[in-house]
Structures are given as structure tokens and as C-alpha cells.
């Protein structure tokens, strides 16, 4: 009886873990602006993130910022004064959101 209960518990954990993975994957596909970048934003963000250590993450945040501001500063770092909206977007901790 204990073996059957243990097997049942293991099966429940296995199924619930696969559901979590499926829902997490669905959330990743619903990121919005980062996944469906306009040609303008995609090109500008590729330049901006070309030397980033975490290119996917850089592209995600750059895409969000570009979609909101319709602007991306030139170069890979700095030059944020070219686009005040991009420069002034902050995350929930008050730090710059845009790369």
C-alpha cells in the first residue's frame, strides 16, 4: 500500500511539473513587443545589443523600450541623451530599464 501511495505521489509531482513547464513556455511566447519587433526596432536593437553578454535579454528589454519610445540610442553603450524617453524608463527598483 505504501508503494502504491508513493508511486501515485510521484506521478502527481511529475504531471504538475510538466504543466508548470508548459505554462512557463506559453508566458515566454507572450512577451509582446520583444517577440514581434518592428523592422526599425529590430535593426536598432541588434546594433545596440551586438556586444552584450546576454544578447537575448538585451534584445528583450531594448525591444520593450523601443516599442514604447520609438527610439534607440546609437552605438552599443551610452548616448542615451539622444532618446530621453529611452533614458528615463525605469524598472520597479528605480534602475534604468533600457540597455
C-alpha cell at 62: 531594448
Q: Which residues contact 97 (CB under 8 A, 6 or more apart)?
A: 61, 64, 65, 89, 90, 91
Q: Where are the beta strands (DSSP E) in the chain?
A: none
Lowest mean pLDDT among 7-21, 23-37, 38-52: 23-37
Q: Yes or no: say if 41 and 66 are a contact pair by the CB < 8 Å rule.
A: yes
Residues 36-86: pLDDT tens digits? 789 999 999 999 999 999 999 999 999 999 999 999 999 999 999 999 999
Amino acid at each position: 500500500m505504501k508503494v502504491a501511495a508513493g508511486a501515485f505521489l510521484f506521478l502527481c509531482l511529475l504531471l504538475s511539473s510538466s504543466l508548470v513547464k508548459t505554462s512557463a513556455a506559453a508566458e515566454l511566447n507572450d512577451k509582446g513587443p520583444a517577440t514581434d519587433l518592428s523592422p526599425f526596432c529590430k535593426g536598432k536593437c541588434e546594433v545596440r545589443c551586438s556586444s552584450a553578454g546576454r544578447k537575448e535579454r538585451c534584445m528583450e528589454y531594448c525591444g520593450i523600450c523601443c516599442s514604447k519610445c520609438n527610439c534607440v540610442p546609437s552605438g552599443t553603450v551610452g548616448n542615451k541623451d539622444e532618446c530621453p524617453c529611452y533614458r528615463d524608463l525605469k524598472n520597479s527598483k528605480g534602475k534604468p530599464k533600457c540597455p
